[in-house]
Amino acid sequence: MEILLQHGWGFDNTVWQQWHFPFAHKHLVLNRGYFGHVHDETFTPTASHRVIITHSFGLHLLKLSEMPSIDLLVIIAGFRAFSQGNEKASGRIQQMIDDLSVDPQKVLQHFYQRCGCPDVLTLQSVNHSLLIHDLHTLKDHVLDVATIHNCCQRVLILHGKQDLVVSREKALELHTLIPNSFLHIYDDAGHALLLSHAEACMKAVTNAIEEEVFRPVKNTIKKNFSAHATQYTQHATMHRQAATTLCDFIGNTVPQSILEIGCGTGLVTDSLIRKFPQSTIDVTDISPTMVEECRKQMNSSQGTLPKVNFSIRDGEQCKNSPHYDLIISGLTFQWFLHLSQSLQDLIGLLRPGGSLIFSILLNTSFPEWQQACATLKIPYTGNSLPSLNSMQNLLTSIGKPYTLKASTIHQSYPSSLHFFRHMKKTGTSTPLKTIQLTTKDFCRLLAHLEQQHINSEGLFSTSFDVLCVKVKEFDKRAQESHDM
């Protein structure tokens, strides 16, 4: 997920200093350049989800019609038209334009006082010509609400009841005109509620993202993996190799209690039961159908399993679970929406000396597919995956000892079309992005892959880059004994 933040007239990017969303892969904090350098960027083509947060006039600065689909647009103290049909508002803007040429510092300080934040900026270099230019735009510009409705899946409008710059009626007008919007009014907030009520606003945005973006994604993941549960084992050849590598990573320690996250049909589960017959194993998956299929396959191959418990559970919702000696997961964490926080939560469930062991796909997987999209100049619709470097940085920031092992699994298919069918039949192609290829572009992609990447045996070959990770929890008891 990438989050783009655009400030309004008379402010700069420092107004967002309190704003941070740990689940976002990237924050794009724009700067109009009223008081210094200009910073302008847009979403990367591979962004799985896109959120825009704007304050006041900032919404009018963005060219939404030129952007890809937006999952959530947040409008803080916004408006459709500031002075249309309002001579008093037009006159006030014109007075500001006239005064800016004489004493821009005085105009801005008065504006900040009306916003409810007189000490918001220490003004040094002021680009008064840009401020005047944007006031002329503000005076005449009318927002195209139809574009917002068409390119933004959901819209959250946040407004202060005590706003002296943009009246509450402006927010109500937006809410009425944008059918896919919902509105929060803060009784004690003014125009600068992004500063004065930053925590409350961030909470509202986070809740909206959870409800409008993350929950539908989780439901899609659950639905797609459930749909392919019965044929998963037959087609999961790469997953089987990855499961073997992961289980070899466990070592010789015998854990008394084990939690498996994302069991699928039991490729890792089977090895755990055979390797640790005396251990208590909690086997979980977000998909009810996968859990049942795993139970059937384990009972069929290994008989009655009194120490194995099967349950439906989201691996990112395990914070209040019991503690374990080993938590293990094979190729599930790339589906996590809050990887950093989830890793910390899971590590918190380890007993002293316990281990979290997992495998995850890296962004260097499917190089032929990625290269073909770049050559053809079409979107790469594979899901965003972490890089080796980003995983190392994330694990280092957690502060626990860890070990890594990267490997490449090569796979061949009768054709590139068979590769994409394989991805679908294992649920691996479940899209987390809103970008899709047209039929024409998909046919171009297949033709290119067939032409450039068929090996000497007439098969399409590609590779999966898998990272195995072991994170150890400190054994304070052992340390204390050593110190004595």
The pLDDT value given to residue 163: 95
Whether 225 is covered by a domain: the verdict is no
Per-residue pLDDT for 298 more than 80? yes
Per-residue pLDDT for 123 more than 90? no
Query: Taking a C-beta distance cutoff of 8 angstroms, is the pair 338, 315 a contact?
Result: no
Whether 224 is covered by a domain: the verdict is no
Q: pTM to 2 decimals? A: 0.71
Q: At 211, which CATH number?
A: 3.40.50.1820
My answer on whether 257 and 387 are in the same domain is: yes
My answer on whether 104 and 186 are in the same domain is: yes
My answer on whether 109 and 65 are in the same domain is: yes
Number of domains in the chain: 2
My answer on whether 289 and 212 are in the same domain is: no
Per-residue pLDDT for 178 more than 70? yes
My answer on whether 304 and 450 are in the same domain is: yes
Most confident among 60-74, 104-118, 388-402 (mean pLDDT): 388-402
My answer on whether 148 and 196 are in the same domain is: yes
My answer on whether 51 and 169 are in the same domain is: yes
My answer on whether 234 and 198 are in the same domain is: no
The pLDDT value given to residue 122: 58
Q: What is the mean pLDDT of residues 47-52?
A: 88
Write out the residue range of the structural domain in which residue 75 sits: 2-219
My answer on whether 166 and 252 are in the same domain is: no
My answer on whether 210 and 282 are in the same domain is: no
Q: What is the mean pLDDT of residues 287-301?
A: 91
Of the pLDDT bands very low, low, confident and very high (cuts 50, 70, 90), residue 481 is very low
My answer on whether 449 and 324 are in the same domain is: yes
Per-residue pLDDT of 128-159, as tens digits, reads 899 999 999 998 889 998 889 888 889 999 99
Q: What is the mean pLDDT of residues 32-39?
A: 91
Whether 189 is covered by a domain: the verdict is yes
Helix, strand, coil share (%) of the chain residues, nearest 5:
45, 20, 35
The lowest-confidence range among 3-17, 82-96, 376-390, 450-464 is: 82-96
Among 154, 186, 219, residue at a domain's last position: 219
Per-residue pLDDT for 479 more than 60? no
Which residues, in sequence order, are CB contacts of 132 under 8 Å at separation 6+?
Answer: 97, 100, 101
Among 199, 219, 239, residue at a domain's last position: 219
Whether 412 is covered by a domain: the verdict is yes
Q: Find, among 139, 132, 267, 224, the residue nearest to 424 by Cα.
A: 224
Q: What is the mean pLDDT of residues 422-451?
A: 84
My answer on whether 281 and 405 are in the same domain is: yes
Query: Taking a C-beta distance cutoff of 8 angstroms, is the pair 82, 138 a contact?
Result: yes
The pLDDT value given to residue 125: 82
Whether 384 is covered by a domain: the verdict is yes
The pLDDT value given to residue 482: 42
Per-residue pLDDT for 227 more than 60? yes
Per-residue pLDDT for 369 more than 80? yes
Whether 18 is covered by a domain: the verdict is yes
Among 219, 246, 276, residue at a domain's last position: 219
Structure tokens at 81: 């038209």
* CA atoms in the 13 A half-sphere facing the CB of 185: 13
Q: Which residue has the tokens 């009425």?
A: 176
Per-residue pLDDT of 442-476, as tens digits, reads 999 999 999 999 988 999 999 999 999 999 987 76
Structure tokens at 349: 């469930």
Q: At 398, which CATH number?
A: 3.40.50.150
What is d(CA 296, CA 300) in angstroms, rounded to the nearest whole number? 6
Distance of CA 174 to the CA centre of its chain: 27
The pLDDT value given to residue 124: 67
Structure tokens at 160: 């202060």
